[in-house]
Amino acid sequence: MWDWNFVWQIIPQLADGVVITIQATVLGTIIAMIAGLGLAIARRSRNKFIRYPFGFAAEFIRGTPLLVQLYFLFYILPDLGILLSPMVAGVIGLGVHYATYTAEVYRTGIDNVSKGQWEAAKAINLSTRQTWTQIIIPQAIPPMIPALANYFISMFKETPLLAAITVLELMNQARSVANYHYKYVEPMTMVGAFFLLVSVPSVIFLRRLEKRFAPKLR
């Protein structure tokens, strides 16, 4: 049933997939962090013509499946004359999808800084920039860290979706090996084991982060 020789034989090919999976997660994380910040700022805008469209877009993206969004990016953009490699389309899709989640984290992080801090900053006559960089952001960031880390772990677990738009990440490599040898048990189980091997330590690390930063959250 379980063939160790086969396991050793396919490890190099799966390792290629692991590299792509990790790249996609890292790039997606970077996009999600930056785009999420932009989105959070747009949703705090005083202009309702900025606030409402971005608010709706965020709700829409969060309420629809990432897979369909990936298809959409992958098939529609070429029609508009934008040619993206599957990997680039995939990373953008992941990043934008998770940006709608990170934006919420930024928002609650900022809203959780108590009103007194804003008033005190005003009282000692700090400029808007000083208020943000010296008072608000340093207090808002620590409680955000565990929440952000949580979403990046989720993103990592969603990278197998990129297989659907032909990115050769771990899941796709495992499927092609499985189809080629017509043996599913080993490759599928190995993929599962890999995810477990990364996720479980990250969750333990995450709980530590939560313990470290949570007391500061009011």
Partner 1 sequence: MEQWYGYIGLILDGAVVTAKITVLGCALALVAAFTAGLGRISRFWQLRWLATAYIEFFRGTSIFVQLFWAYFVLPLLGVPLSPLQAGVLALGLNVGAYGAEVVRGAILSVPREQYEGCKALNFTRIQELRHVILPQAFVLMLPTFGNNAIELLKGTAVVSLISLSDMTFQAQVVRAQTGSTAVPFLTILFLYFAYSTVISNSIKALERRLSRGLDVTKG
Examine residue 63 and tell whether it contacts partner 1 (CB under 8 A).
yes
**Contacts with 173 (C-beta within 8 Å, 6 or more apart), sequence order:** 13, 14, 16, 17
Distance of CA 12 to the CA centre of its chain: 27
What are the start-end ranges of the H helices in 44-182? Answer: 48-63, 66-79, 86-111, 115-123, 128-130, 137-158, 170-181
Site for partner 1 in 198-217 (CB under 8 A): 199-200, 203
CB 29 within 8 A of CB 152: yes
Report d(CA 149, CA 154) in Å as an integer. Answer: 9
Two structure tokens written together for 109: 């992080």
Of 65, 120, 122, 211, the one binding partner 1 (CB under 8 A) is 65
Between 29 and 69, name the residue whose CB sits nearer to partner 1.
69
Between 13 and 131, name the residue whose CB sits nearer to partner 1.
13
Examine residue 53 and tell whether it contacts partner 1 (CB under 8 A).
no
Examine residue 161 and tell whether it contacts partner 1 (CB under 8 A).
yes
Examine residue 181 and tell whether it contacts partner 1 (CB under 8 A).
no
Between 99 and 158, name the residue whose CB sits nearer to partner 1.
158
Q: Per CB under 8 A, which region of 29-37, 70-78, 102-110, 130-138 contacts partner 1? A: 70-78
Examine residue 158 and tell whether it contacts partner 1 (CB under 8 A).
yes
Q: Per CB under 8 A, which region of 45-53, 69-77, 102-110, 137-145 contacts partner 1? A: 69-77
Report d(CA 149, CA 201) in Å as an integer. Answer: 13
Examine residue 157 and tell whether it contacts partner 1 (CB under 8 A).
yes
Of 58, 66, 121, 147, the one binding partner 1 (CB under 8 A) is 66
Of 4, 5, 8, 79, the one binding partner 1 (CB under 8 A) is 79
The radius of gyration of the chain's CA atoms, rounded to the nearest angstrom, is 21
Two structure tokens written together for 14: 């799966």
Q: How far is CA 164 from CA 105, 146, 174, 205, in A?
A: 29, 30, 13, 30
Between 121 and 159, name the residue whose CB sits nearer to partner 1.
159
- Scanning the structure block, which residue is given the tokens 């805008």? 45
Residues that bind partner 1 (CB under 8 A): 59-60, 62-69, 71-72, 75-76, 79, 157-161, 163-164, 171, 175, 178, 184-185, 188-189, 191-192, 195-196, 199-200, 203
